[in-house]
């Protein structure tokens, strides 16, 4: 089941006896759990019928015993097991799942792990109940997720802004949503567009000195701008670690290399699909492909691999991260 389909059924009050929520992306697990916790019972019913326990403080038999209780002065009881990845013999939940109480709604948060698909527990939970695997989004899917998150709150954001957030915050959705909420709170009534200034003022990501602007400057062979940015990065290594800078450049030039092999570059939507980017950014890769030939791009990727190793101490005994950055940029540009 997908996150969207689960939320749709919850909003229709179509409760299931067991929700087994597993996987690496905690955001979706937390959202489903929070909705159930807030909406199944009334506030007065929650005192006697809503229980939250943690895997490290309980056991699978205890969870089963709690789930077999009947609700008090309510139609349902809700049992929420957080950090269930710490439970021993979680597969034993199958003994309850074979014949659960329909009045109990059992929610199990099994974060950062997944059940073995060969087990009886997995087969039973997936066939009769809600078993959801919450997967990390690929980086190229995060900008669209940001757009969707803001749309639900009646805000908009442009491709450049959403890409800037992705480049600097990664794909940890809980972190991104918290940062977006900071911006939303700061906005004046009626002002619904998230801008680069909003991002800089509320999150601290410079609109001029960031990996997105560095990639663009390198693609344009803008020597002055590129050196300005790496000088800033060198002085602010805590916020701009060299490993992340190299990673960003590697992804950029890998897509430049791929761009050469796009069969029909005139079809922007197909080109964007092949590169895994928004059509808004195609010109950045087109420009870079004009500035660097294929052989040079292959050489650049080799340079980035070399400096990634050196940044981790391989064949580098004395150069600081700032010095490595400047040397790397020089070798790429020349």
Superfamily of domain 3-133: P-loop containing nucleotide triphosphate hydrolases (3.40.50.300)
pLDDT of residue 226: 96
pLDDT of residue 315: 81
Of 318, 3, 20, give the one whose Cα is nearest residue 136. 3
- For residues 168 and 264, give the distance between their C-alpha atoms in angstroms, rounded to a whole number: 31
pLDDT of residue 318: 81
Give the three-class secondary structure for 130.
strand
- For residues 73 and 315, give the distance between their C-alpha atoms in angstroms, rounded to a whole number: 70
Give phi and psi for 92, each to the nearest 5: -70, -10
pLDDT of residue 239: 87
Structural tokens at position 56: 């490290």
- For residues 180 and 194, give the distance between their C-alpha atoms in angstroms, rounded to a whole number: 9
Provide block-wise average pLDDT over 10 residues at a time, the chain (334 residues). 94 97 96 97 96 96 96 96 95 95 97 93 96 93 95 95 92 94 95 96 92 95 96 91 94 96 94 93 96 97 95 84 94 94
Interior angle at CA 138, CA 137 and CA 140, nearest 5: 120
Give phi and psi for 51, each to the nearest 5: -125, 130
pLDDT of residue 179: 96
31 close to 109: Cβ distance less than 8 angstroms: no
Dihedral of the CA atoms 231, 236, 239, 240 (nearest 10)?
Answer: 30
Domain coordinates in residue numbering, the chain: 3-133, 139-203, 211-333
pLDDT of residue 313: 87
Helix/strand/coil (H/E/C) assignment for every residue in 34-102: HHHHHHCCCHHHHHHHEEEEEHHHCCHHHHHHHHCCCCCCCCCEEEEEECHHHCCCHHHHHHHHCCCCC
Architecture of the 139-203 domain: Orthogonal Bundle (1.10)
- Overall fold of domain 211-333: Zinc Finger, Delta Prime; domain 3 (1.20.272)
φ/ψ bin of 221: left (φ > 0), alpha (ψ from -120 to 50), beta (otherwise): left
Strand order of the β-sheet with 50-54 is: 50-54, 77-82, 104-111, 18-23, 130-133
Contacts of 136 (CB under 8 A, 6+ apart): 24, 25, 171
Distances (CA, A) of 122 to 59, 68, 89, 114: 19, 21, 13, 9
pTM for this structure? 0.82
Q: Do the domains 3-133 and 211-333 sit in the same CATH topology, yes or no?
A: no
Strand pairing partners for 110? 22
Contacts of 174 (CB under 8 A, 6+ apart): 26, 27, 30
Rg for the chain, CA atoms, rounded: 25
Q: Helices (DSSP H) in the chain: which residue ranges?
A: 3-11, 26-39, 43-49, 60-67, 94-97, 120-128, 142-152, 159-169, 173-186, 196-203, 211-219, 223-235, 242-260, 268-275, 282-291, 294-311, 321-333
pLDDT of residue 80: 98
- For residues 29 and 109, give the distance between their C-alpha atoms in angstroms, rounded to a whole number: 7
């Amino acid at each position: 089941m997908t996150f969207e389909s689960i939320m749709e059924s919850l909003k229709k009050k179509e409760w299931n006896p067991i929700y087994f929520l597993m996987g690496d992306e905690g955001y979706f697990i937390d959202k489903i759990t929070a909705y159930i916790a807030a909406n199944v019972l009334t506030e007065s019913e929650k005192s006697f019928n809503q229980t939250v326990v943690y895997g490290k403080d309980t056991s699978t038999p205890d969870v089963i015993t709690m789930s077999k209780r009947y609700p008090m002065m309510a139609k349902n009881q809700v049992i929420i097991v957080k950090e269930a990845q710490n439970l021993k013999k979680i597969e034993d939940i199958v003994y309850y799942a074979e014949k659960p109480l329909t009045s109990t709604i059992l929610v199990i948060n099994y974060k950062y792990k997944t059940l073995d698909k060969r087990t009886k527990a997995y087969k039973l939970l997936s066939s009769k109940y809600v078993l959801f695997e919450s997967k990390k989004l690929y980086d190229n899917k995060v900008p669209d997720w940001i757009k969707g998150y803001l749309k639900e709150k009646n805000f908009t954001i442009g491709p450049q802004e959403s890409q800037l957030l992705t480049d600097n915050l990664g794909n940890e959705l809980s972190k991104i949503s918290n940062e977006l909420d900071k911006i939303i709170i700061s906005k004046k009534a009626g002002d619904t567009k998230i801008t680069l200034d909003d991002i800089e003022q509320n999150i601290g990501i410079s609109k001029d000195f960031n990996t997105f602007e560095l990639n663009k400057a390198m693609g344009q062979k803008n020597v002055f701008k590129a050196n300005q940015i790496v000088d800033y990065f060198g002085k602010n290594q805590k916020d701009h670690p060299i490993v992340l800078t190299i990673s960003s450049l590697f992804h950029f030039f890998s897509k430049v290399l791929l761009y050469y092999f796009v069969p029909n570059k005139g079809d922007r939507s197909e080109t964007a699909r092949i590169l895994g980017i928004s059509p808004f950014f195609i010109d950045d890769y087109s420009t870079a492909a004009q500035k660097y030939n294929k052989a040079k791009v292959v050489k650049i990727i080799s340079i980035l691999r070399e400096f990634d190793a050196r940044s981790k101490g391989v064949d580098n005994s004395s150069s600081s991260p700032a010095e490595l950055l400047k040397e790397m940029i020089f070798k790429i540009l020349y």
